[in-house]
Structure 1
Amino acid sequence: MQKKTTTELLEAFFTGGLFATPENEETELMEAISRKLIEFACILGTVAVDARFAREAMGTTEAFPVSEIAADYGRSAQAFNKLLRDQGIQYKRGKRWYLYDRYQNRGYTATRLTARDTGGRVRTFSSMQWTVKGRRFLYDFLREQGIHPTAGKEARP
Structure 2
Amino acid sequence: MLALSRGGKRLPVERWNPPHCGHSDMAIMADGTWFHAGTPIGRKELVQLFSSILRREPDGRHVLVTPVEKLDIDVADAPFVAVDADWQGSGPERQIVFRLNTDELVACGPDHGLDVRIDADGTPRPYLHVRGGLVALVNRATFYRLADLALAEGGEPPGLWSGGAFFAFMAG
After TM superposition, the score normalised by the length of structure 2 is: 0.23
The answer to which structure has the higher helix fraction is: 1
Larger Rg: 1 or 2? 1
Higher strand proportion (structure 1 or 2): 2
TM-score (norm 1): 0.24
